[in-house]
């Protein structure tokens, strides 16, 4: 049971976002550790400003991606709810709901899911290929 729960949790994790966050954090740590503070001089603010700018830029990109994902999921949820309502008998359904309005929604939804899974598989294949190349070079 615990393993199933962990698999479900793992399936919901967007590895690209996690990888980007790891990369962003490591680059911020590197940029922060590269800043040299000498007691007789002012700190090198150029590197510090560049690190802050890079961090803010990557944070903005992450937020934009999250906003787009939330908007897409909201649209899917609304279509699903309308499809659910359309499946009800005519006397139990709201008059504004047209049964035919979202008949292609399941195909559209699962097509998008399949595309995202295909992108993930291709990304994993590239990462494995790079890892194998690095391992064979050593």
Q: What is the pLDDT of residues 33-63, one digit of tens each?
A: 554 444 444 556 788 888 888 888 888 989 9
Model confidence, pTM: 0.47
User: At 16, is the secondary structure helix, strand, or coil?
Assistant: helix
C-alpha 65/C-alpha 71 separation (Å) is: 10
Burial class (CB in 10 A: 0-12, 13-18, 19+), 121: exposed
pLDDT at 88 over 50: yes
Q: What pLDDT score was predicted for residue 52? A: 87
C-alpha 10/C-alpha 12 separation (Å) is: 5
Q: Which of 68, 63, 64, 60 is nearest to 112 (CA)?
A: 68
Paired tokens of 87: 């499946």
Per-residue pLDDT band at 89 (split at 50, 70, 90): confident
User: At 2, is the secondary structure helix, strand, or coil?
Assistant: helix
Mean pLDDT along residues 67-83: 86
DSSP letter at 41?
Answer: S
User: At 94, is the secondary structure helix, strand, or coil?
Assistant: coil
Please give the mean pLDDT across all residues of the chain: 76
């Amino acid at each position: 049971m615990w393993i199933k729960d962990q698999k479900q949790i793992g399936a919901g994790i967007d590895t690209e976002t996690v990888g980007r966050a790891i990369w962003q954090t490591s680059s911020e740590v590197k940029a922060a550790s590269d800043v040299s503070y000498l007691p007789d001089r002012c700190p090198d603010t150029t590197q510090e400003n560049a690190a802050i700018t890079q961090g803010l830029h990557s944070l903005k990109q992450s937020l934009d991606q999250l906003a787009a994902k939330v908007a897409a999921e909201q649209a899917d949820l609304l279509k699903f709810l309308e499809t659910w309502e359309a499946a009800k008998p005519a006397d139990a359904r709201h008059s504004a709901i047209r049964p035919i309005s979202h008949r292609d929604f399941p195909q559209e939804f699962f097509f998008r899911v399949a595309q995202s899974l295909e992108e993930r598989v291709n990304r994993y294949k590239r990462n494995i290929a790079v890892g194998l190349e690095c391992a064979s070079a050593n």
